[in-house]
Structure 1
Amino acid sequence: MVGTGGPVATFSVWDYVVFFGTIVVAAGIGLFQAIRSRKENSPEEYLLGGRQMTAIPVAMSLTASFMSGVTVIGTPAEAYRFGTAFWLFGFAYAIMSVITAEIFVPLFYRLRITSAYEYLEMRFSRPIRIIGTSMYITQTALYTGLVIYAPALALNQITGLDLWGVLVATGVVCIIYCTLGGLKAVIWTDVLQLVIMLVGFVAVIARGAVLQGGLDKIWEDAHNGGRLETFDFDPDPLKRHTFWSIVIGGSIMWVSIYSINQSQVQRYISCKTLGHAKMSLYVNMVGLCVTVSLAMVTGLTMYSVYKNCDPISNNDVDTADQLLPYLVMDILADYPGIPGLFVAAAYSGTLSTVSSSINALVAVTVEDFIFPVFKNLTARQVTWMNMGLSVFFGAVCIGMAGVASMMGSVLQAALSIFGMISGPLLGLYLLGICFRTTNSIGGFVGLMTGLVLTLWVGIGAQLYPPTADKTNPLPLSTANCTNKLPQPSPTFPSTSPITLTTLADVRPPLADGWYSLSYLYLSVLATLVTVVSGLLVSMITGGCKQDKLNSNLFIRRSDFLCFNFCTESKEVDMTEKPAGDVDLGVNNSAYKDFEVEMKNVVHTTML
């Protein structure tokens, strides 16, 4: 019986057909784009879709890029265990979209960059650019490996899918359509994958509503279980989720991801006009809100089904990440192919993130490491290099998934480090675009200070996790479990000389304060520390004496949409190459003039 505990069914033949059919279609899109664009095989076409993309597909790709399999599986589990506070991220998405669209998009669009980290050399120095790019490559390779591994592990233990077979298949499929089709293949595949993710959520909600007697009953159960207490205005920064931590901390965290992360920047600068680029972010905001809403309702549906028989407490699953796959096999096993659709939804999230990461890693490697050294490469050589790097980074991501399988509880630590690195980088960009006083020395010191501080807090939090009163898990029950499973045996016999102690006995003084800071405030802390320390060091080291800085490197009043209504402005078309265009490694006089100008800017900045 549904919702009473015990083993659930595994995949049927039709489930495998649906799942693998999705993978084949994804690979087919890459092949189609490769054939369609075979006569336009330029570096710009490969990395930026020829800068001819429109708002809607780019917006859907932006949404899919960070709606990974971890999100598909983890967000409903969040609602099941902690309630709907996560829904408040809708406010963070809105704030992030406005800041990114009105401040960062015009800046990057105006500079005609391919790598987001080109800006760091223009504004500061080449060493800072190399540091920023290296931080991005490290975090993205590790994060992508985890994105491949975490959903695969959860789904393997519930559905019976071979873990390593799916891991390798995921990487190979992404390598195929990234290598052959470039950014266009990635974007159009993301569109398909986002649709599959949303359909997977709808299928679970619809079946759950039928079983529970309608959405009204699901909502009533959630209310009675305390899952609808969304707004918590407690200002305590140590509580995991409050209105303030999500709206303030979440906004800064998402700004650091969307504004300066190459995976996202590469998408909106591929749009053919600035208007399309801005619109893609506002449409993406709607997509994010729809996705998180469906995930939340899915979590509430899961709570309604298991409100009196918690699968975790009943030992039906080992971790919270397995809750949604368990629910799917519990309530949808009678409908052949539907569980396969859900697994396809989870893996669509994984494929979209992996493909986005591979494409972005190729772009920053070529732009930041190869072009500055090898300036006489032909367009054909660059194209083959792009394809080779796609294969290389795909293999690296598969390898990182293998490393993740041996990391155990460090998985969560590594995911947290991904957020920690984005905060200092955001602070560095704000130093560059907002303050003419900032120089290269201040930028470097600020970046390192912010990074070291947040790594200290983040790693400390992993070693000494916050206590239950800070995480606020809601109560669950096993009262109606008819298929109760035996409790697992202890990991060592009672005669073992090992003595268990409570956390209170071993926690250092910082554990219940500094290390218990909400993870959402890590980006805020890093950004503020980077900006403040960077400004102070810049003023001490002569930053106030700088002059002749290129005005294109700073935010302008005309960048903001609200001021565009008051002035007549000609919308820039990305097919028109302005003076100072960077042409992706193809030698021309405009590139050389731009390079000379930027070297002068860097030299002046260093003085």
Structure 2
Amino acid sequence: MSTIDWLVMTGTLAAIVGFGVWKTRSVDNVKSYLLGDRDLKWWTIGLSVMATQASAITFLSTPGQAYDDGLGFAQFYFGLPIAMVILCVFVLPIYYRLQVYTAYEYLEGRFDVRVRTLTALLFLIQRGLAAGITIYAPAIILSTILGWSLSLTILVIGVVVIFYTVVGGTKAVSVTQKQQMIVILLGMLAAGVVVVMRLPSDVGLADAMGVAGKLGKLEVVDLNFDLNDRYNLWSALLGGTFLFLSYFGTDQSQVQRYLSGKSLTESRLGLLFNGIFKVPMQFMVLFVGILVFVFFLFTAPPIHFNTANLDNLRNSSLAPELSVLEEDYAAVNAEASAASTALVEALRTEEEATIEAAQTQLRSAVAERQLISEKVDHLIERMNPEAIVEDRDYVFITFITQYLPVGLIGLLLAVIFSAAMSSTSSELNALATTSMVDLYRRSFVRNREDDHYFKASKWLTIMWGCIALGFAAVANLFDNLIQAVNIIGSLFYGVILGIFVVAFFFKRVGSTAVLIAALVAEMIVILTFVGYWLGYHDLAYLWLNLIGCVMTVFIALLFPKVPAKETVG
């Protein structure tokens, strides 16, 4: 990486972090540290909410997802606007009326401390694990570029993020995320422009989209009702909506963002802003992945995108077999490039027979290329059975490091790190807040002075940072990072949402009923996922959100109802 790229990356990140530290220099009490001064405008809330969800994983893994499967992943977000409207109408007014620090405080008043503690623990488990993945994702980039070991890179990134979060608190998280989202959106837009410019001189954006469309990469909506399919319209509108309701309505990393709003109206507008603009943003990121796919039709892609795996393979006894496959791969890529050019010309003539012939030839070349890549994967597994051969998360990294011009590489790396900083700092801050408010101050150390809780909040941030680092060390066990985060969330979010649904809408259900229901429902969700993992069924993970929520509500309603006066806290 050039000196200019280093200056662009470090300068951008230093300016954002410095701004956050400067804006929070007067934070000296636990309320300001955990909740801010509740003075944020709607646009800051909206960008902060988007930045919290848009982790580095979004900008690493999502383009690779589009490279392999096209735009179908966009369906995952179709339930988001629906969830935002429901939360604005039913949930936000309750939180603002009660003036809570966390979403789980409400549950003690509605039920009892046991339900509050259980829900807080479920959040802490899933968010603590997810925080590790958000640290691991950018570590892949830096270790690849600098040649550092992955473990050392994880440690360096983790320490920097922990320091930033400990110093700034929730207000620093919110005020810096506005700048981070601006950098992220500009960087991804610039990447898309560069991909188009890197295409052959006689191939334009419309041509690229025509080729992608003929290969099925632009198909967004899948109307087939298939429980085994992770991404179709029905899993998105049902399972996805439940996931987003739980994530934005009960996950403290998000609740904390809009509880810092100046008013209920500002927070509502911030959430609606997120609901409106998040889906187009995801389309843009996926679209960049589609453009990278088309680019690698005309320019030969690596036979395997994880260079570390390839280097190890070349230094092994299987190197001769790899060389043979690389020769075949080069020939197939030449065929793919020629077929792509032929398809572009055919699309311009609009002759169906010519288009169909070129399309068939290109599909055959792409399939053969994929087959050779799979043979390389098998070689890597023969060399090291523990190696992770899934390389989708390395697709966008490869394009960034090998094909972007000087200066823009630094900006795109700043994009990745900005996303990592924003999401990880939000998560660590939310984990510390929940640990402090719902466990430490509520059940362990009560009635101490404010300074004690202020210092304890910082130590809790450090503790969760260390836990996240530990999980980041084993995050490579997952094939695809963005799916890993959503799977972890789906294991817990449905049950958490079910608890809140009972709290909001079934006033005569008591604490013991919902406590037992949540524990049983969580067991059902985990056993369902284990069954999928062991190959007993193929139920897509998004449905776990619906199962967890419905089972919690259903089981709770089986218990005898208590008098309404006993359910009001």
Q: Please give the TM-score of this superposition, normalised by the length of structure 2.
A: 0.80
Say whether residues 1:323 and 2:407 are aligned partners: no
Give, in angstroms, the shift of residue 523 of structure 1: 0.3
Matches within 5 A, 1:271-282: 271-282=261-272
> Structure 1 residues 524 and 371, CA, compared in 2 at 3 Å: closer, same or farther?
same
Give, in angstroms, the shift of residue 549 of structure 1: 4.0
CA distance in 1, matches of 2:211, 2:144: 28
Instruction: Name the residue aligned to 2:44.
Output: 57
Aligned residue for 2:79, secondary structure, equals: helix
Structure 1: unaligned runs, 5 residues or longer = 1-10, 465-510, 551-600, 602-607
Q: Is the 8 A contact 2:509 2:567 kept in 1?
A: no
Instruction: Name the residue aligned to 1:457.
Output: 528
> Structure 1 residues 196 and 166, CA, compared in 2 at 3 Å: closer, same or farther?
farther
Q: Is the 8 A contact 2:136 2:472 kept in 1?
A: yes
Matches within 5 A, 1:326-405: 326-332=398-404, 335-372=405-442, 373-404=444-475
CA distance in 1, matches of 2:165, 2:492: 26
Q: Is the 8 A contact 1:263 1:356 kept in 2?
A: yes
Say whether residues 1:215 and 2:202 are aligned partners: no
Aligned residue for 2:37, secondary structure, equals: helix
Give, in angstroms, the shift of residue 97 of structure 1: 0.9
Give, in angstroms, the shift of residue 175 of structure 1: 2.1
Of the structure 1 ranges 191-200 and 301-310, higher mean CA displacement relative to structure 2 is found in 301-310
Matches within 5 A, 1:415-564: 416-464=487-535, 511=536, 515-537=537-559, 539=560, 543-547=561-565, 549-550=567-568
Instruction: Name the residue aligned to 2:117.
Output: 130
CA distance in 2, matches of 1:34, 1:547: 43
Give, in angstroms, the shift of residue 273 of structure 1: 0.8
Aligned residue for 1:234, secondary structure, equals: coil
CA distance in 2, matches of 1:392, 1:25: 27
Give, in angstroms, the shift of residue 185 of structure 1: 0.5
CA distance in 1, matches of 2:207, 2:180: 31
Instruction: Name the residue aligned to 1:237.
Output: 227
Say whether residues 1:68 and 2:55 are aligned partners: yes
CA distance in 1, matches of 2:236, 2:266: 29
Aligned residue for 1:179, secondary structure, equals: helix
Q: Is the 8 A contact 2:56 2:420 kept in 1?
A: yes
Of the structure 1 ranges 162-171 and 428-437, higher mean CA displacement relative to structure 2 is found in 162-171
CA distance in 2, matches of 1:400, 1:175: 15
Instruction: Name the residue aligned to 1:595.
Output: none
Give, in angstroms, the shift of residue 159 of structure 1: 6.6
Say whether residues 1:300 and 2:290 are aligned partners: yes
> Structure 1 residues 409 and 81, CA, compared in 2 at 3 Å: closer, same or farther?
closer
> Structure 1 residues 414 and 200, CA, compared in 2 at 3 Å: closer, same or farther?
closer
Give, in angstroms, the shift of residue 49 of structure 1: 1.1
Give, in angstroms, the shift of residue 57 of structure 1: 0.9
Give, in angstroms, the shift of residue 27 of structure 1: 2.7
Instruction: Name the residue aligned to 1:605.
Output: none
Structure 1 counterpart of 2:68, from 63, 81, 90: 81
Give, in angstroms, the shift of residue 293 of structure 1: 1.8
Q: Is the 8 A contact 2:132 2:470 kept in 1?
A: yes
CA distance in 1, matches of 2:410, 2:9: 5
> Structure 1 residues 194 and 179, CA, compared in 2 at 3 Å: closer, same or farther?
same
Aligned residue for 2:78, secondary structure, equals: helix
Corresponding letter in the other structure for 1:444: L
Structure 2: unaligned runs, 5 residues or longer = 305-369, 378-388
CA offsets per residue over residues 387-439 of structure 1, 9 Å max, x none?
2222222232223222435x466976675233210110101110111001211
Of the structure 1 ranges 204-213 and 271-280, higher mean CA displacement relative to structure 2 is found in 204-213
Q: Is the 8 A contact 1:155 1:322 kept in 2?
A: no
Q: Is the 8 A contact 2:162 2:425 kept in 1?
A: yes
CA offsets per residue over residues 49-95 of structure 1, 9 Å max, x none?
11222211111110011111111111112222112122234531211
Q: Please give the TM-score of this superposition, normalised by the length of structure 1.
A: 0.75
Give, in angstroms, the shift of residue 235 of structure 1: 1.2
Q: Is the 8 A contact 1:76 1:299 kept in 2?
A: yes
CA distance in 1, matches of 2:162, 2:484: 27
Instruction: Name the residue aligned to 1:191.
Output: 178
Structure 1 counterpart of 2:162, from 151, 166, 175: 175
- Identical positions, percent: 29
Aligned residue for 1:527, secondary structure, equals: helix
Give, in angstroms, the shift of residue 113 of structure 1: 0.7
Say whether residues 1:266 and 2:256 are aligned partners: yes
CA distance in 1, matches of 2:277, 2:152: 31
CA offsets per residue over residues 345-389 of structure 1, 9 Å max, x none?
122221111100111111111111222243322222222222222
Aligned residue for 2:261, secondary structure, equals: coil
Paired residue total: 482
CA distance in 2, matches of 1:414, 1:301: 25
CA distance in 1, matches of 2:508, 2:497: 17
CA offsets per residue over residues 320-361 of structure 1, 9 Å max, x none?
1101111222321xx212122212212222111110011111
CA distance in 2, matches of 1:243, 1:294: 19
Corresponding letter in the other structure for 1:232: D
Q: Is the 8 A contact 1:437 1:535 kept in 2?
A: no
Say whether residues 1:18 and 2:8 are aligned partners: yes
Instruction: Name the residue aligned to 2:189.
Output: 202
Q: Is the 8 A contact 1:446 1:533 kept in 2?
A: yes
Aligned residue for 1:399, secondary structure, equals: helix
Give, in angstroms, the shift of residue 548 of structure 1: 5.4
CA distance in 2, matches of 1:459, 1:193: 38
> Structure 1 residues 337 and 60, CA, compared in 2 at 3 Å: closer, same or farther?
same
CA distance in 1, matches of 2:523, 2:242: 18
CA offsets per residue over residues 516-553 of structure 1, 9 Å max, x none?
1111111011111111111112x3xxx24343543xxx
Q: Is the 8 A contact 1:416 1:458 kept in 2?
A: no
CA distance in 2, matches of 1:191, 1:408: 30
CA distance in 2, matches of 1:525, 1:262: 22
Give, in angstroms, the shift of residue 229 of structure 1: 1.8
CA distance in 2, matches of 1:194, 1:410: 23
CA distance in 2, matches of 1:49, 1:517: 42
CA distance in 2, matches of 1:415, 1:90: 12
CA distance in 1, matches of 2:490, 2:3: 40
Give, in angstroms, the shift of residue 180 of structure 1: 1.9
